[in-house]
Amino acid sequence: MAEPRLAVRRKSRSSSERKRSRAPVQPVAASSPVARKRPSSDGEGPPAEALCSNDSEEDMFGDYDSFYGNDSLIAQVDDVEHKYLQDENMDVKAAGEVVPGNLQSGVHQKEQDNFSASQNVVVLKSDKEGACQMQDSDPADGNQKLTESILDDLPSSQLLYFEKMDELSSASRTSPLPKGRDERVDSFSDKIRDPLSFCAGAEHRNRPIDSSSHSKCVLFKSESLKDHLKSAMTGNARAQTLQVSKTKQLKEAVLSEEIFVARKAIESSSLDIGPFYGLPSKVKDLFRQLRGIETLYEWQHDCLMLESLQQRKNLIYSLPTGGGKTLVAEIIILQELLCRQKDVLMILPYVAIVQEKVRGLSSFGIELGFLVEEYAGSKGRFPPIKRRVKKSLYIATIEKGHALVNSLIETERIDDLGLVVVDELHMLGAGSRGAVLEITLAKILYTSKKTQIIGMSATLNNVGDLQKFLQAEYYTNNFRPVELKEYIKIRDTIYAVDSKTENGFTFSHLLNFKYSSNLEKADPDHIIALVTEVIPKYSCLIFCPTKKNSENVASMVCKYLKKEFRAHKEKEKQDLIENLKSIGNGTVCPVLKQTIPFGIAYHHSGLTNDERKSIEEAYSAGVLCLLACTATLAAGVNLPARRVILRAPYVGNDFLKKSQYKQMIGRAGRAGIDSAGESILIVQEKDKHLVQDLVHSPLENCYSNLLLELTKGIQSLLLSLVGLKIAVTCEEVDNFVCCTLLGVQQQLLSKEKSLSEIIQDGLENLIEKGLLKGRISEKDHNSKSTLTITPLGKAVYKGSIDLAYCNILYRDLKKGLQGLVLESNLHLLYLSTPYDMTSTCSPDWMIYLRQFNQLSAAEQKVADIVGVPESFITKKASGQAVRKNVDNAVVNRFYLTFVLYSLLKETNVWSVSEKFNLSRGYVQNLLSSAASFASCLLHFCEELEELWVYKALLTELTKQLTYCVKTELIPLMEVAGVLEARAKQLYNAGYKTLAHLANANPETLVRMIEHLSQRQAKQIISSAKMLLSEKAEALQEEVEELLKVPTDIPGTH
């Protein structure tokens, strides 16, 4: 039965308090005799202690005492049997009928509870214990009470099974024993011994059963039930079984059965689909244990119960930031993985969010038996490994998600993908990344009628267009767990945002803070006054227009704060500084060193990944109470605050968009902590009218970017359509493009040319570039002439290469073959340096010359080969005029290659950024982009035979660029969320391999690793277990594939 509609209450509880709560019994169960007979169990009492602590050493026979009473299990069965055999009105056959229904299930259930109690899993309360005590004078009655008591602790799905057995038993008392009753009783017995038999999959159903471990039960022979039971138990004891605890087997059996019941319920399209929205009750327990989520918000319940979801229609849903959208998506994902047994793709906007989600869901994967695979940066297999048993959750960035979908279409496996979830659906309107997302979704819609698409966002306006594009239903709600109060500040006056008034604002209050003349000059916007109203007791975010401004604001605030602020969590702040020092190899940013003692830091893309992660963790833990940040934080990881201040209505030099404003203020108010959240936008008089429009205007519309982003948009789409054989004639291409968001919005976006003309121009351009073959003309545009892709075209779309650079790239790689210098990796690094970063590079010519002079003779030869003469750099460094015609893009690219070359030699972002006078964030971004581009380059070269030599070289280089650490740290850095500083700590503490980490104890890890919380330790261990499981599964798949007997062996038919 679905959950009741209750408001969410999140609270952290100690493990001792977390008791498994049984799901409510379904209506059909409530009316059955078994359900009616169950006694209530409201009494409190100490838990019953298990008498047997070691499963493997139990004496199962003879004088073994049941923990429910003093009679041995076999003696009780013997007594019951004799009682009925002595009844003069009951013949032997009738006596046989009485036992199986209730008694047999009771015996098996008793075995189950013995297993559970021996592992201290089920806690029996005193009144239950009393109910379970059997009196010598009435063993049959005692057994009945035992059965009733045990039923109280079972999930509803298992109760249904016992009720069915009970009904069969009742029916059999008045009719002869039907053929196969033996097998039914024994089938359940087999299930207790083999938990996997609950699974509905053919691989379990068709598995041959070992007779030694499954003794056949013949109840109606002359042999007594006591003898039979003894014989069956002896058979079980002798059977060779895996060294797994019985408690674990039983847990797996119950979980498998609940999944089976839920899957069957979903297949029957029932709205009432099981204990927790069609999922086993264990999922509910995991949300409680891992997330502190007790119950769902009412809107979440309503959304999950939507008829459109039950019918597997596509869905778009929209709620304000912090409303709990992700939880709904996660429940739908688990339904797909566990109940429908299909793979799932989750598309997220940024690498950091992908890694955070991989860490968060790995624990669920370990517990529930599915794989979590990361597709971000240079990580991910194409096509993904086809798993025989476990299903996969692919968590991907937009670009990697597109490449994954392409590979599934190409291998005709797109129908394996049961669900695609897109977070931040409004990204469809965001430049080239929006174009890639649109192409991905359009391909899924066109090639698979079985794949469901779920899109969510906090900032959507023209939903009608998106609904038409995705053929989706729409659900929206204005729910926020914490009330948001919006204010604007002009001079020293605070106004509340009020749409009911004429100008949109109403007076709230004047700032009550005395400023000295010096402070007034330093802080004319009264940021310190606004901040000190909330910190250090509560947290605060200040969004600044630029990176430099965020650093300045952090410095300015801490200069004028009182000394008392330093005392708040002083030790933890000192630990944070030490941690940052170890990240920077002994160096800490001077600004952070000054601000952190006051609980203040800045947060922007200029920080390294390690620094950013440390600052985010310190803020979440309350060590830092104020972050001065840029707009990227609003779109990134979830860091809420009591008060959010917008320093100015600008992002860089551009005026704030409504969607950006909504995302920033959406960070105000923390569920379960704050009663309300506040946002204050600081406005200068000159911007007052613009801000009035901003606050009260609707959200921006989401428009297709396929036309604006020509090479990454429409041309890229056309190339892959032909390459994947989705559409190979002009008519088919036209039909496909009409199904995109561009097709829906064509009258708005393509006024000068018709869509057919745009498609024709695009195809002709691809033929000119040598990427497609075929003939196109206006006359035969609607003809059936077929287009084909060239080897170069195939390499371009498989490598996800931007069409703007594909021909230059091919030329550079061919030129490299003529004289590839392998004395160092400089030449290969140049070929792997991203083209799109050259435009943002401004070389420091003195540094350029210094680096050039440090090259060996062979490396200087590389400069000549690529076209960067020494004379050119010398003249530039000395300020002389340069007459020689040199390609600036090549010169800039080679300068970036120097940066990468230094990074691979020194593996220290700090020292390299100082050497080249670049920000740490820029250097790290260059490294990430180069790793991703090298991965694309590898896929490109794999498709062209003439470039075979690059394959092995690029495989190793991609790995070096991805991790940029000493070789011994790479296995640890493969784990999601383990960055360089953490990998060094783990390695030095003796955790040197993936297996070490996967088998680590969280408490020991916390004790041995500085600045590591219990939650982080558990996440790291879960991620390591997931990665290890993934690698083991891949090897197992390979073994099975090798050993598989071919079906087409000559002479076998």
The C-alpha atoms of residue 11 and residue 670 are separated, in whole angstroms, by 13
The C-alpha atoms of residue 159 and residue 35 are separated, in whole angstroms, by 8
The C-alpha atoms of residue 676 and residue 686 are separated, in whole angstroms, by 30
Highest mean pLDDT (candidates 102-111, 189-198, 419-428, 693-702) = 419-428
The C-alpha atoms of residue 379 and residue 125 are separated, in whole angstroms, by 50
Among 411-415, 988-992, 1011-1015, the range scoring the smallest mean pLDDT is: 1011-1015
β-strand pairing of 654-655 with 788-789:
unpaired
Query: φ and ψ at 603, to 5 degrees?
Result: -145, 110
When pLDDT is averaged across residues 565-570 and rounded to a whole number, the result is: 89
Rounded (10°) CA dihedral 272, 273, 275, 279: -150
Residue 640: strand, helix, or coil: coil
Helices H, strands E: what count in the chain?
Answer: 50, 19
Q: What percent of the chain has pLDDT over 90?
A: 51
| Nearest alpha-carbon partner for 353 in 963, 976, 837 | 976
- Quick check: 866 and 917 in contact, CB under 8 A? no
Provide the mean pLDDT of the chain: 79
Of the two residues 100 and 633, the one the predictor is more confident about is: 633
Q: For the segment 784-823, what is each residue's pLDDT rounded down to a tens digit?
A: 789 999 999 999 999 999 999 999 999 999 999 988 998 9
Q: For the segment 489-519, what is each residue's pLDDT rounded down to a tens digit?
A: 998 899 999 888 877 889 998 888 788 888 8
| Nearest alpha-carbon partner for 583 in 613, 603, 554 | 613
Element (H, E) at 122: none
The C-alpha atoms of residue 485 and residue 480 are separated, in whole angstroms, by 12
pLDDT > 80? residue 665 = yes
pLDDT > 90? residue 5 = no
Cite the DSSP H helix spans in 666-740: 688-696, 714-723, 730-737
Q: Which two tokens stand for residue 705?
A: 């970017």
Instruction: Please state whether 774 falls in left (phi above 0), alpha (psi between -120 and 50) or beta.
Output: left
Rounded (10°) CA dihedral 922, 925, 930, 935: 180
Q: With 0-12 CB in 10 A as exposed, 13-18 as middle and 19+ as buried, what is 961?
A: buried
| Nearest alpha-carbon partner for 138 in 128, 146, 148 | 146
Q: For the segment 174-187, what is each residue's pLDDT rounded down to a tens digit?
A: 444 444 434 433 44
Lay out the sheet containing 417-422: strands in order across.
371-375, 392-396, 343-347, 417-422, 452-457, 314-318, 472-476
The C-alpha atoms of residue 388 and residue 380 are separated, in whole angstroms, by 19
Q: Count Cβ atoms below 10 Å from residue 578 Cβ, excluding itself.
A: 13
Binned at pLDDT 50, 70 and 90, residue 129 comes out as very low
pLDDT given at position 112: 42
Among 116-125, 444-453, 524-533, 862-871, the range scoring the smallest mean pLDDT is: 116-125
pLDDT > 60? residue 142 = no
Q: Which two tokens stand for residue 467?
A: 């609904």
β-strand pairing of 472-476 with 483-490:
unpaired
Among 148-162, 266-280, 930-944, the range scoring the smallest mean pLDDT is: 148-162
| Nearest alpha-carbon partner for 143 in 106, 94, 188 | 106
DSSP 483: E
Among 61-70, 380-389, 467-476, 919-928, the range scoring the smallest mean pLDDT is: 61-70
